[in-house]
Structure formats: C-alpha cells, structure tokens
Amino acid sequence: MFDLTARLAIHEWNMATAELASRRAPGLPAVTLCGVRLDAVREAECVSLILERLKAGRGGWVVTVNLDHLRRLVRDAEYARLCQGASLMVADGMPLIWASRIQGTPLPERVAGSNLVSSLSAAAAREGRSVYLLGGAPGSAVAAASRLRQRYTGLRVAGTDCPPMGFENSPDRMGVIEERLVRARPDIIYVGLGSPKQERLIGRLRGRLPGAWWLGVGISFSFLGGQVRRAPRWMQRVGLEWLHRFAQEPRRLARRYLAQGIPFGLCLLLNAALLRVPGGRRPRGPYQPPDHPI
C-alpha cells in the first residue's frame, strides 16, 4: 500500500478537456467538478426540458455522468471530445453530489439514467411521444419495453433492437441498426450498451435523427426487465448502489469499482475539499490516481 496523497499529481488540461469545461446548455445553471461542467438540474427539470425541446422540433443528447464517466472525461481526451456534443450533462452518482457540496457549489440532486428511463417514459406517454430501446443484454430490451408499457398507459414503443457483440465493427450490422432507427423515427432513444460504447454509438448515429433525444442508460434495461436486481432505494440514497452491483458481479466489476473507482473518488473529494481551504491556491486541474491498482 502506498501513500495515496504522495502519489497524487496535478496535470495540465489538454485542449479537449478545456473545451468540454466551457460547454454549457443555454440558460441552465452549472457546477464544475474536476474541470467538467455539469448542468445543475433536477430530474423533473431534465424531463421537462427534453419535452419542451421535442415540441420545438429540437433534438439532443443527455449524458448521465457517474464516477466512471467523470474519470474517463478527465483522463481520456477522445471521450471528452465526443461528449462535447451532449446537450445536457447531469450528475448520476452520489460521489459527484458529495464533491459538489464539499466544494461549496451543491448540485440539486442525483439524476440517474436508470430513473430517467421511467420518468421520461411516463412523460412521453402523457405527451404521445415514442421511445426506442437499443442495446442491452439479449431479451432485456423487449422485457423492459413490456414493463414500460404496463406501467405507462399509452406509451408508444417505436421498436427495440439488441445487436450482437461486436456489431460496432461490422458496417453491415451498423447499417441495419441505422435503417431500423430511421424507419421507426422515435422521439426518444434509450441506448443501453455501457460506457463508452453507448456514447460512441450515439455520436455516430444521432445525426441521422436530429429531432430525437438520445440517452445512454447502461444496464437500465436489465433492471426494468428483472434480469438484474437494482439496489434498494436506501442504498441508492446513501451512495452504496455500486456495492450492490459489485456483490452481484464481483469479477467483472472489480477493476472498475475497486482499482479505478475508489481511488478516483477519493481524489475527487480531496480536490473538492482543497477548493474550500481558506487562502489556499485553487488547483489548476484535478488530482489523479495512478493507473495501476493499489
């Protein structure tokens, strides 16, 4: 075990991250964490904004930034450039909420992608809007669509698609996905492929449906369809949802949560605390954990 504090080092922002920090949805308040600007909106406000822009014929893209997304935005210039195209970037992760409070610029609440699938679908049903479910584990999109229809009377599901592994490397398969989407013409597209694959796919396809709204929702289809149990609400509220997920798939999630997430989360909170030190010099960039596990 090494001394974590001694190994922390401030790095200069590359151009892509600096440009991302300046991105802001017009008229919305924002909070900056580690140089990444997040829209300071509540879940209900996010849903209302999407519906308002749909009425105006304007599409968009929501990135729900959890701790893993934030780490990638800080460390991966290509990913940061990709997410510059997002219309909204909201905080999906309690460590981000805690850090915002510690540094004195509190975000109003966590806006989780897995919650948005339900709240936005409920609003879409009321407004006569259609949704499309793309990705997920085999069978999960169909099961999730069925559950959403049961919950929200009148919801129009324009289609579901669960492409096979490696589809992103097949021009033919990508063509089929694009053709189905264009033919269905949904208003809202949920992409459940995990990050960064879902963001890359949205970046490639959203130009074909510029009037639609796109959301990357990770494992949400499996939560809705019942293939994977979501953490109880009390664990979500206190920031332990990751532990519930880790207990279900420890081998697959060990690197993401233990080797990467915990060190970066500690660095995020420390960086936020340093901003509150009286007379302290503002850091030039985020503190970074080492690439290898502790």
| Mean pLDDT for the chain overall | 87
Within a domain: 90: yes
Q: What is the dihedral of CA 245, 217, 236, 97, to 10 degrees?
A: 120
Indicate whether 178 belongs to any domain: no
Is residue 86, in this structure, part of any structural domain at all?
Answer: yes
List for the chain the helix, strand, coil content (%; round to 5): 50, 15, 35
Per-residue pLDDT averaged across 196-201, rounded? Answer: 96
Query: What was the pLDDT predicted at 25?
Result: 52
C-alpha to C-alpha distance for 214 and 205, rounded to whole angstroms: 10
- Flag whether pLDDT at 20 surpasses 80: no
What is the largest distance, in Å, between two alpha-carbon atoms of the chain? 59
In a domain, 261, yes or no: no
Q: What is the CA radius of gyration of the chain?
A: 19
Range of the domain at 228: 15-164+184-233
Residue with structure tokens 């963001």? 199
Q: What does the pLDDT read at residue 26?
A: 59
Residue 3 lies in a domain: no
Verdict on whether the full-model pTM lies above 0.85: yes
176-190, pLDDT tens digit by residue?
A: 999 999 999 999 999
Residue 9 above 50 pLDDT?
A: no
Q: Report the percent of the chain where pLDDT is more than 70.
A: 86
Q: What digits encode the pLDDT tens for the residues 140-166? A: 999 999 999 999 999 999 999 999 999
Give a yes or no: residue 280 inside a domain.
Answer: no
Report DSSP state, residue 38: E
| Dist. CA 218–CA 223, nearest whole Å | 10
Domain membership of residue 286 (yes or no) is no
89 near 39, Cβ under 8 Å? yes
Q: Which long-range contacts (CB under 8 A, 24 or more apart) does 109-115 make?
A: 109/42, 109/43, 111/41, 111/42, 111/43, 111/46, 111/64, 112/43, 112/64, 112/236, 113/64, 113/215, 113/216, 113/217, 113/218, 113/220, 114/217, 114/218, 114/219, 114/220, 114/223, 114/230, 115/43
Q: Where are the alpha helices (DSSP H) in 2-59?
A: 4-7, 15-21, 43-55
- How many Å apart are CA 14 and CA 45, to the nearest integer? 32
Residue 294 lies in a domain: no
* pLDDT of 167 above 90: yes
Q: Does the pLDDT value for residue 287 go beyond 90? A: no
Number of compact structural domains in the chain: 1
Residue 92: which of 281, 187, 218 has the closest Cα? 218
pLDDT at residue 18, as a whole number: 40
